[in-house]
Each structure stands twice: as C-alpha cells, then as structure tokens.
C-alpha cells in the first residue's frame, strides 16, 4: 500500500516513527513498557520516561525537595517553563506541592501550573510516539466476549449482586478464527471465570470487545468474581483490571459507564461505536446488538434469536441453541467493530492517546493534544485556556412547513474550515502558526485519500483510504468546534464568532441567489439549504448544474456540493424533517419525529404516518389511526409495544430522600422498585406498563412490571394509551387533509 505524504507529517502523526506499537503502560516509576507487534509476534521493551509539568515561573517550585530540572520555553505564552522529573512519584508530589502553595488545583484552568494526570498521555505527548503506525486493522488482535445470565423469579433483569443470579454462558471469538463457549452445565461459576482468564491469557489479544461490555458484561463478571474470590489476572503482566466509574460525552448525551483498564490491552464497547455512528447518521432505532446487526447486514441468515426471558428455559431444555445464540452475539460484535472501529484505529495513529481513550475523548480534546505535542516538541510556551464567551451561532431557518416536492439539498463543503482557510483566520494564541497550516494539510490529505479510495485496486485498500478520508473529514470539521470551546489552550471564541458571521453571510447569499433563479428555499441548517428547484430542473443532471452555478457565485475557496434530490420533504420544524428519495426510502431527522423515549406503538404510528404524508396519501392516516385505536381497545397491540423500559440512575435511598425533600417528582420505575421489596440498585432496568381506566392519571400510582402482565386478563389502560395516540395525531393535524 502506498505510503502517503501525510504519514510523514510530524505535527499530525507525531515526530517518532516507531511502527507496530499496540500498547503503552507504566512499568515502574521512571519507565514505560512498550508493546509491539513485529514479525508476527508480540514483543515489548521498557523505555525511560521523564514525567513533566508546565509552570508560569520556575520559582513556583522553590522549596520543593525532590530532584527536577527546568527548561525555559520560547515564545510569550503563559506556561513558559518545562519542569522534568526522574519519576512519576516525584511529579505527582510536585503537583501536590503546587496545589498547596498556590491554592489552585491542577484542574483549574487558571492555575499557574499545568499537569496531565495520565502518565501514558504524558509519555506519548513528549515522545512523539503513537500507536499502530505501519499496521493494518487486521493486524490488531481483537477478542470479543459476551455472557448470558440467569435472572431470579420475579425480576425483569439479572443483577450480579443477587446470589440466585449467575453466569450461564460465556462466549469468546477473535478475529483469528478462534471461538469457545464456557457453559454452566459443564463448569461451576468459579471455574468458568477462571477458564475465561486462561483463554484471555493464551489468546493474548490486543483488544477486548463486547456490546454493552462496560455497563453489563464486565461489571457482572467483576462482581461475580469478587463473590467467588476469583482473581481476574487479565493483564499482560498478570495484573487484575482496574475498575472505576467514568463518563464521556457523545454530542449532548452524557454517558456513564464502569470503565475497566487491562494492563497492555484495550477495552472497546461496540455500543459506543453505534452511538458515535448515529450522531451523524441519525438512522438507528436502537443501540442494541441484534437490531444493529440487522441494520448493517452482518447478522447471519440462520442466526439464533432468544428473548431475554427465555434464557433460563433454553439453558435447561435446549443448551446447544443457547450456546449458538451466545456465539452469534460475539461474532456480530466482531463484525460491527470491523465496520465501525476503523476510523478510531486510524485516529490512534494520529493522537497521543491509547486506543481505548480515543473512544472517550472529544474531538476538541484531540485537536488540543496535537497543539500541545507540537509545542512541546519545539519547546514553545503554552497559553492558558481563555474565558468562555458567548457568540452567535449558525443560520437556521424554516420557510415552508408541511409536504413540499420535489426537493434538492445542497451544502457548503466543510463550511467553517473553508472560511478559516479562505479568510486566513487563525487563533490569537497560536504563536507557532500551527493551526492554519495543519488545517490546510488535512484538507489536502483528505482530497488525496478520497482520490486513492476511488482508484483502489482491491476492497481492502479502498476501505482503508475511505476510512482515512472520513477520519480527516471529522478532524477538519472539528477545528472550528475547537475554537469555540473553553478549557482548551488555543481556543478563541472571538474568532469562532467571526467564522459564524461569515457563515451566515454566505448562506444568506446562497438563499438570495436561489430565489433570484426561481428556486424556493424550504429550510436552512447552518451549512446547507433544502429548496424546491425552478420548473426547468427535471433531472439529477439539471440539479447538479444548478448547484454548480450557485457554487461559482461564491468566493473562491467556498464550494457548494449537491447532497441529494428527493421526491418529497415533510418539514415539521427546525432540524426536524423527513425525506422521501427516488427509490422510496424514507429518512427521518430530528428528535420530535423519532424520539426513542416514545413507546413503540407511537414510534411505529408516527413513522407510518410520515410515509403516508410524503407519498401524498394523507387521507389514509385516519384509517391507520382507527386501526391503532382498535388494536389498543382489543388488547391486540402486545404489551411490549405499550411498555416503557427505563434505567434507575440513582439508588432507591437517594430517590426517597429527594422525593421527601420535594427535590424531584415521583417516578414509576422507582415506585415499582420500592414496592417490590427487591434490592434494586442504580443501573438496573425496569420495564413497566400503565394500568387503570382514566386517560389522565398519575402514572407512578397506576403501573405494573411488564413481567406481571397476563394476556388472558389484560389490564393495560386502554383510555391512557389511546389518549397518547390521539395527542400525537393532534400535533400533526394541520398537515392532514
């Protein structure tokens, strides 16, 4: 495979060209253990590590009794001194000393010192090394695991703290063709856990994967291992995993999870990959494994499906089917990772983070790390983060509501990065002038990778370049987002405001041009426009020609691309719309039109109603509505279509305290958990449905566990569920004939 020019770019890929690094871990106070895959086998060596922190002034460490060296840094930013220590312990003691002396914690953005608490991050920053250089994704040894568990009678979900609940099956499969199922009829639970450790040790994977791995499988395994006194020696040095609660953000969502760190290995949860994917695609109805495998076409034709409540029955009566079901889970996990993890693998070749941390670090943090690494390489001073400043955002507007047809979508290619490059806008604190040259290089590299993807001789090579150009696209678009953040050293909210002002002006010019040429804008969303074309535009080629003329009317460096042509568009409100393409596929965007918080029957009705509107069959919505009303009336809907499943986010004790102090309102899930007398805890899920006769009632006083539902004596609240359907229909009444 061709070595591209960007792989030699030291700012982007780091100055150290060592290939084959698969993991880095602390090995003693003053060294790092570097694991490499070379000549088909795993090797490692220990390398000296010099921990560091940055200071405004070297006098800050006067009186500190441990040995250290200081180096003055060039340029005039705030942190002008680099302090180097012989051991990690000395560095952390210096942090404690500075905290006491200055009264500022290391996490304070205005502290007169800068300390990074992750030694691996420090090592990669100052050494210029990154993981996976010279490796293909197939070179990475990946092992997927999945467990099936028993659930005590009366409970909806398995809980490892309950003595009766236990692991029934553990499936393992790797990308080298190895697979195994450890089954409870053949092992005691203690023996299963010990055998799992032996398999991990013998296969020696670089990555352990699973679906909902952190918040279920690993948490469950660790809890049961503690019960049996089993030592999980999964590390490459024979150490046990380090487990702690953590969190990270995917756009506006904050995800809490039980993090596990295994010495010399990385842990990847494919549920996180799905959420990252859906951030842009917005097309997944569920982040569960089975629906995702079907969505991406990786589910085997003969794939075995077993409902959660049937696990115990299959264990007792058809164990071979349960084993196959468990194996299918891990194989689908490997397949999803193969599809979705590649861009993160490539990012690990760029950023100074472990592969595991690449998944939980935001794009702004990654961009910041590139700046820090280059400034440290050039021994240049680093600025403090700026103060948060408000600035106007992008231009969003809706001009037409309801169904319009036909529709063309166009957008400015990388609008904000293009503005930065076209107008030579650079952050005020970037004294080394790293920002714009790196952004320009990334843009050029992306074009090169896109071209090579189209010219690739085989699928493997094409997939590589396609993933690479997508990675570069994400980075390019993150540069603007970085400017507007706080807590990052080279951000510049004032400049971010100038960029959005240019963006609004450009989109305004595009809108005026379209109207002047007899096109009618429907919706504007920051960098793109949906519009009805003039009558002479009949074909896709006509549409492309129109968009090309629009692009030529804008300043050099600002390019408009046609994003799609659609039979119809349903415009509901800002950032909430649906599109019907020429092949009859419907794409729905926006939480108001596809909220996962809705009961399934409401989601399905809404989806079918939108399709009817787009197809010009609005009169058929009323018979559909009557059909759903009748099915609810006759209890034909199926309780799973009516029920909700929610997760307990705090302990029952905490909930009761807050309700008693009137700091929160009562909730059905907690009231059911309390009334059950069972030891539910935060993280447990509860599925429930609403009972009673009235359409308006307090749900927390009229609800039952879904497991208590008796289809022979149905007690679901017909009036309540019909009323919710009626209220949903009313929201769209103005769009119906």
What pLDDT, in 10s, does the model give residues 320-356? 999 999 999 999 999 999 988 988 998 999 999 999 9
Please indicate whether residue 252 or residue 568 has the higher confidence score (pLDDT).
568
Please indicate whether residue 456 or residue 197 has the higher confidence score (pLDDT).
197
Rounded CA gap, 613 and 625, in Å?
13
Tokens, residue 320: 């071979």
Taking residues 98-118, what's their average pLDDT?
94
Taking residues 563-573, what's their average pLDDT?
95
Would you say residue 619 has pLDDT above 50?
yes
What is the C-alpha radius of gyration for the chain, rounded to an integer number of angstroms?
A: 28
Rounded CA gap, 514 and 534, in Å?
9
Query: Do the domains at 5-132+348-377 and 618-735 have one common CATH topology?
Result: no
CA 357 from chain centre, in angstroms, equals 12
Would you say residue 509 has pLDDT above 90?
yes
pLDDT of residue 683: 62
Would you say residue 2 has pLDDT above 50?
no
Q: Confidence band (pLDDT; 50, 70, 90) for 281?
A: low
Rounded CA gap, 567 and 588, in Å?
14
Please indicate whether residue 281 or residue 279 has the higher confidence score (pLDDT).
279
pLDDT of residue 77: 93
Taking residues 86-94, what's their average pLDDT?
96
Taking residues 482-500, what's their average pLDDT?
91
Tell me the CA distances in angstroms from 602 to 322, 572, 607, 668, 724, one per residue in order.
33, 17, 9, 19, 8
Rounded CA gap, 248 and 256, in Å?
7
Tell me the CA distances in angstroms from 672 to 599, 676, 688, 732, one per residue in order.
19, 6, 9, 34
HSE at residue 85, side-chain half, CA atoms within 13 A, is 23
Would you say residue 4 has pLDDT above 60?
no
The 3-state secondary structure of 486-506 reads CCCCCCCHHHHHHHHHHHHHH
pTM: 0.85
Work out whether strand 576-580 and strand 81-85 pair parallel, antiparallel, or are unpaired.
unpaired
Would you say residue 593 has pLDDT above 70?
yes
Q: Confidence band (pLDDT; 50, 70, 90) for 6?
A: low
% of residues, the chain, pLDDT over 90: 72
Rounded CA gap, 600 and 356, in Å?
34
Q: Name which CATH class applies to 385-425+492-596.
A: alpha beta
Rounded CA gap, 420 and 499, in Å?
7
pLDDT of residue 159: 84
Q: What is the mean pLDDT of the chain?
A: 91
Would you say residue 78 has pLDDT above 50?
yes
Would you say residue 179 has pLDDT above 70?
yes
Taking residues 40-66, what's their average pLDDT?
93
pLDDT of residue 1: 42
Taking residues 59-69, what's their average pLDDT?
92
Q: Confidence band (pLDDT; 50, 70, 90) for 253?
A: low
The count of residues in the chain is 737
pLDDT of residue 3: 42
- Total Cβ atoms within 10 A of residue 138: 11
Q: Hey, where are the domains in the chain?
A: 5-132+348-377, 137-344, 385-425+492-596, 618-735
**DSSP type of residue 688:** E
Highest mean pLDDT among 52-66, 279-293, 445-459: 52-66
Find, among 392, 378, 349, 375, the residue nearest to 427 by Cα: 375
Would you say residue 173 has pLDDT above 90?
yes
pLDDT of residue 395: 84
Q: Who contacts 20 (Cβ-Cβ below 8 Å, separation ≥6)?
A: 36, 37, 38, 132, 133, 134, 135
Taking residues 692-719, what's their average pLDDT?
94
* CATH architecture, range 618-735: Orthogonal Bundle (1.10)
- Total Cβ atoms within 10 A of residue 550: 20
pLDDT of residue 282: 66
pLDDT of residue 34: 97
pLDDT digits (tens, 9 = 90+) for 633-649: 999 998 999 999 887 87
* CATH architecture, range 5-132+348-377: 2-Layer Sandwich (3.30)
pLDDT digits (tens, 9 = 90+) for 378-419: 999 999 987 777 777 788 899 999 999 999 999 998 899 999
Of 3.30.420.10, 3.90.550.10, 3.90.226.10, 3.40.50.970, the CATH number of 137-344 is: 3.30.420.10
């Amino acid at each position: 495979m061709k070595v591209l020019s960007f792989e030699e770019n030291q700012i982007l890929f780091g100055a150290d060209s060592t290939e084959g690094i698969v993991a880095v871990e602390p090995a003693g106070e003053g060294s790092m253990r570097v694991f490499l895959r070379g000549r088909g086998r795993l090797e490692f060596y220990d390398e000296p590590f010099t921990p560091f922190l940055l200071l405004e002034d070297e006098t800050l460490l006067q009186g500190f009794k441990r040995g250290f060296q200081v180096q003055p840094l060039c340029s005039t930013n705030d942190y002008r001194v680099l302090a180097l220590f012989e051991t990690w312990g000395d560095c952390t003691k210096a942090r404690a000393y500075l905290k006491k002396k200055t009264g500022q914690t290391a996490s304070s953005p205005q502290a007169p010192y800068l300390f990074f608490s992750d030694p691996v991050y420090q090592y990669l920053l100052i050494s210029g090394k990154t993981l996976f250089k010279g490796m293909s994704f197939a070179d990475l040894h990946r092992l997927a695991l999945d467990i099936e568990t028993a659930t005590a009678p009366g409970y909806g979900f398995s809980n490892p703290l309950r003595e009766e609940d236990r692991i029934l099956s553990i499936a393992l499969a790797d990308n080298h063709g190895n697979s195994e199922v450890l089954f409870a009829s053949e092992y005691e639970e203690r023996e299963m856990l010990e055998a799992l450790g032996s398999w991990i040790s013998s296969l020696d994977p670089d990555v352990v994967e699973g679906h909902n791995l952190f918040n279920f499988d690993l948490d469950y395994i660790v809890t049961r291992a503690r019960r049996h006194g089993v030592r999980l020696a999964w590390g490459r040095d024979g150490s046990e995993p380090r487990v702690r609660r953590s969190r990270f953000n995917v756009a506006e969502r904050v995800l809490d999870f039980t993090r596990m760190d295994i010495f010399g290995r990385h842990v990847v949860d494919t549920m996180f990959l799905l959420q990252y994917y859906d951030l842009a695609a917005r097309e997944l109805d569920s982040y569960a494994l089975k629906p995702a495998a079907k969505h991406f076409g990786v589910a085997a034709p003969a794939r075995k499906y077993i409902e959660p409540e049937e696990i115990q029955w299959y264990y007792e009566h058809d164990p071979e089917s349960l084993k196959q079901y468990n194996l299918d889970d891990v194989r689908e996990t490997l397949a999803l990772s193969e599809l979705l993890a590649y861009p993160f693998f490539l990012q690990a070749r760029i950023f100074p983070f472990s592969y595991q941390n690449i998944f939980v670090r935001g794009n702004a943090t990654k961009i910041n790390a590139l700046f820090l690494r280059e400034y440290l390489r050039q021994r240049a001073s680093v600025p403090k983060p700026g103060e948060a400043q408000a600035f106007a955002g992008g231009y969003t507007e809706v001009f037409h509501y309801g169904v319009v047809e036909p529709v063309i979508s166009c957008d400015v290619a990388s609008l904000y990065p293009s503005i930065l490059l076209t107008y030579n806008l650079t952050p005020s604190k970037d004294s080394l002038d790293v920002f714009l040259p790196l952004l320009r290089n990334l843009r050029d590299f992306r074009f090169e990778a896109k071209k090579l993807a189209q010219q690739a001789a085989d699928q493997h090579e094409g997939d590589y370049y396609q993933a690479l150009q997508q990675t570069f696209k994400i980075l390019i678009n993150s540069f603007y987002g970085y400017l507007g953040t706080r807590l990052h050293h080279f951000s510049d909210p004032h400049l971010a405001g100038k960029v959005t002002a240019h963006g609004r002006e450009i989109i305004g010019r595009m809108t005026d041009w379209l109207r002047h040429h007899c096109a009618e804008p429907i919706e504007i969303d920051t960098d793109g426009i949906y519009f009805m074309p003039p009558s002479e535009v009949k074909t896709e080629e006509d549409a492309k020609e129109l968009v090309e003329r629009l692009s030529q009317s804008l300043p050099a460096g600002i390019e408009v691309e046609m994003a799609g042509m659609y039979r119809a568009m349903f415009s509901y409100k800002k950032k909430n719309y649906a599109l019907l393409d020429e092949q009859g596929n419907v794409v729905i965007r926006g939480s108001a039109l596809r909220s996962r918080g809705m009961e399934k029957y409401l989601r399905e009705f809404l989806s079918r109603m939108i399709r009817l509107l787009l197809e010009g069959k609005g009169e058929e919505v009323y018979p559909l509505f009557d059909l759903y009303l009748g099915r609810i009336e006759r209890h034909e809907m199926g309780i799973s279509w009516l029920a909700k499943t929610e997760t307990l986010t705090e302990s029952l004790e905490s909930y009761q305290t807050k309700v008693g102090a009137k700091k929160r309102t009562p909730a059905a899930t907690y009231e059911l958990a309390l009334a059950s007398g069972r030891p539910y805890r935060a993280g447990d899920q509860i599925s429930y449905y609403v009972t009673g006769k009235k359409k308006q009632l307090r749900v927390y006083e009229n609800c039952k566990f879904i497991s208590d539902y008796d289809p022979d004596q149905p007690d679901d609240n017909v009036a309540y569920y019909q009323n919710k359907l009626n209220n949903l229909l009313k929201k769209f009444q103005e769009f119906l004939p």
